[in-house]
Amino acid sequence: MTVFICLDDNNGQMFNRRRQSRDRTVTEDILSTSRGHRLYISSYSKPLLDSVLQDENTAADITVDDAFPETAPENAFCFAEDIPMSKLIDKTDRLIIYRWNRVYPKDVSLDIKPEDSFKLTGCSEFKGYSHEKITREVYER
Amino acid sequence: MKKKILSMLVVLLALAMFFCCQTDFSEETTNTINVTTNDDYSIHDIVITDCPDTTDSITTNIIPDTEVITTEAFSTTTPVTTPITTPVTTEAVITSLDIKTQIPARAPSFTASDIPASNGSDAYAVINDNVPFFTQDELTVKAYEFYSELDSLGRCGYTVASVCKELMPTEERESIGSVKPSGWQTVKYDFVEGQYLYNRCHLIGFQLAGENANKKNLVTGTRYLNVQGMLPFENLVADYVKETGNHVMYRSTPIFEGDNLVCAGVLMEGYSVEDKGDGVEFCVFAYNIQPGVIINYATGESSQDETTTAADTGVQTYILNTNSKLIHYPSCSSVSSMSDKNKKEYTGTRDELIAQGYKACSKCKP
C-alpha cells in the first residue's frame, strides 16, 4: 500500500478537525502518482477532489470510504488526512510525505516515526501554488 | 405649464443622479472612513477595499459583495448579534438583505477574567471550543481592515479584518523599529531565540494585511508569543486565503489585565466565510509568556526565573547546518564532516529552530 500524508514542520496534521493546509499542486501530484491504481480517500478529503470525482473519466478510480484502513487492498494508494498513520502502517510499503515547510497550529500529529519503519529513498522539492517550497519525501520498507 | 413640469422633472432627475453617484462606492477600490461607533472606541479608521470575486467556488450562501456599504452600515445601535455556531447557517443573512453587515466587527465577548490559567509552556489555549465570537452579521466578503485607537494608556485595542488576497502585501516588509508599543523594553536573554525577549508583535500579521509601522497594530509581545503563539495561526490563514481565494474573518484582540501596559496575551479568532468555516475555524488565546522569564505585566520589566532549568525552557546547544537546514546534537557524527562555512552553533529551543525552517537530523534525532 502507498500512503500519502501532509505534515508541517512539527509533524502536525490537523487542528480543530481541519487539515492544516492544502495546495493544489500536492493534490495533482497525488493524482498523478496514483494514476492507474485505485486511490482511497476518506469523506473528509472528498471536497478536495470534487472536480475529479465529478469527471466520469476519473471518478471511477477513486473510492471514498472512511473505513479504508480496513477495506483497502494491499496494492491500493491512500490519502490519509484524518486517518492515524498507525492504523495503516502494517499494510504500508511506501509512505509519501509532503512537507509544507511551515508551522501551523496542531492538535493531531503524525503518530509514528517514519524512520523507525521505513528508509528514506527519495526527496525532492517543488514550488506549490500557495506554498513557497513543498518537500516530497518517499519512504520505503 | 407642461414645459414647466417637464423642466422640473429634468432637474429632479439630475439631482437624483448626482446623489446616487455620491453614495455609490462600488466602483472605488479603497475608501477610508472615519466612523463613530460606541463609547469605548470613539473614532476608528477603517480601510475598505473592494475585493473582486477571485474564486469559482464561491456559492450564493454568502453576504453579497455587491452590497453598497454606506455609513448606515456603521450604525451606532446594537445590531443583530446572533453568534455563529458550527455549522454556520448564514442563509438568514443572505435572504434578508435588510440586515446590515456589521463593519467593523465588534470587539469579542472576552475579558481578562476569561483567560485560562497558563501552564507556563503551552503557547496557546483553545477558547469556546474553537468557535470564534463573530456574529452572523459580522461575516462578510467585503475586504476591510480595522484598527482600534490607542486607549488613554497608549494600549492597542482589538483589530479585525476580512482577509483576502487583495489585502495581502505586495511589497517587502519595512522597518517597524520606530514604534514603541505600551510596556516596551529592550532586554536580552541568552536562551531566547534572537536573544531579545520582546518583539513588536503585529496583531494582524504583516503577511495578512501588509501593515508595517502601524502603532495601532503592534503590541509588546515575547518572542514566544510571536513565533509559537501567533505565527502558526497567521500562516494557517495566509496559506488558506492564497490557495482558495476565499475570505477569512480574522480578529486579534490584546487582553490587558487592569492598567497593565503589557498584555497577558492575544485572543485570536479566524473563520472562513465562503465555506462557512470548513476551511478555517479557530478561537484561541495566545499567551504572552516566555519560558524561563518572569514578566511584570504592569511595566514590562522582567527577570530570569531562577527556578527553571534549561530543560524546562527546552534550551540547549545544537549544531546547525545552515546549508542543509538540519539540526544536530553536538555529538552527532555528521558534525565532524560538516563544512565550517555551513556550521553554526545555536543555543535555544528546538521549536524555535523548527519555526525558522530547520529540520531534525535523521541520524541523531534531536
pLDDT tens digits along B317-329: 788 988 888 888 8
φ, ψ for residue B206, nearest 5 deg = -55, -40
**Grid cell of B44 as nine digits:** 476608528
Order of strands, sheet of A39-41, starting from the edge strand that comes earlier in the sequence: A62-64, A39-41, A77-79, A2-7, A94-99, A134-140, A119-126
Output the pLDDT for position B358.
83
Contact A24/B at CB under 8 A: yes
Cβ–Cβ < 8 Å for B28, B50: yes
Task: Please give the backbone phi and psi of residue B57, each rounded to the nearest 5 degrees, phi first.
Answer: -90, 0
Up-side HSE of residue B297: CA atoms within 13 Å toward CB?
19
Q: What's the predicted TM-score (pTM) here?
A: 0.76
Closest CB to A103: pick one of B232, B278, B281.
B232
Query: Are A61 and A39 within 8 A, CB to CB?
Result: yes
Nearest to B236 among A20, A115, A120 (CB): A20
| Partner-chain residue, chosen from B231, B239, B359, that has the shortest CB–CB distance to A130 | B239
Contact at CB, A15 and B236, closer than 8 angstroms: yes
Q: Are B314 and B327 in contact (CB under 8 A)?
A: no
Summarised one tens digit per residue, pLDDT across range B36-94 is 333 333 333 456 554 444 333 333 334 434 332 322 333 333 344 567 754 433 333 33
- Average pLDDT score over chain B: 79
CATH of A2-140, one of 3.40.430.10, 3.90.1150.10, 1.10.3260.10, 3.40.630.40: 3.40.430.10
Q: Where are the domains of chain A?
A: 2-140
Residue of B nearest to A44 (CA): B278
Residue A23: the pLDDT is: 97
The minimal CB distance from A22 to the residues B232, B235, B243 is found for B243
Distance to chain B for A19, nearest Cα, Å: 8
> What Cα–Cα distance (Å) separates residue B352 from each residue in A103, B191, B209, B291?
11, 11, 24, 12
Residue B348 has a pLDDT of 74
What is the pLDDT averaged over residues A69-79? 95
Given this model, what pLDDT does residue B91 score?
32
DSSP state of B174: P
Residue A136 has pLDDT above 50, yes or no: yes
Higher pLDDT, B20 or B259: B259
Q: How many CB atoms lie within 10 A of CB A38?
A: 15
Would the CB atoms of A18 and B278 count as touching at under 8 Å? yes
Contact B279 A18 (CB under 8 A): yes
Instruction: Using CA coordinates, name the residue in chain B closest to A115.
Output: B362
Contact A130/B280, CB-based, under 8 Å? no
For A126-135, write each residue's pLDDT tens digit: 999 999 999 9
CA A87 to chain B, closest CA, distance in angstroms equals: 23
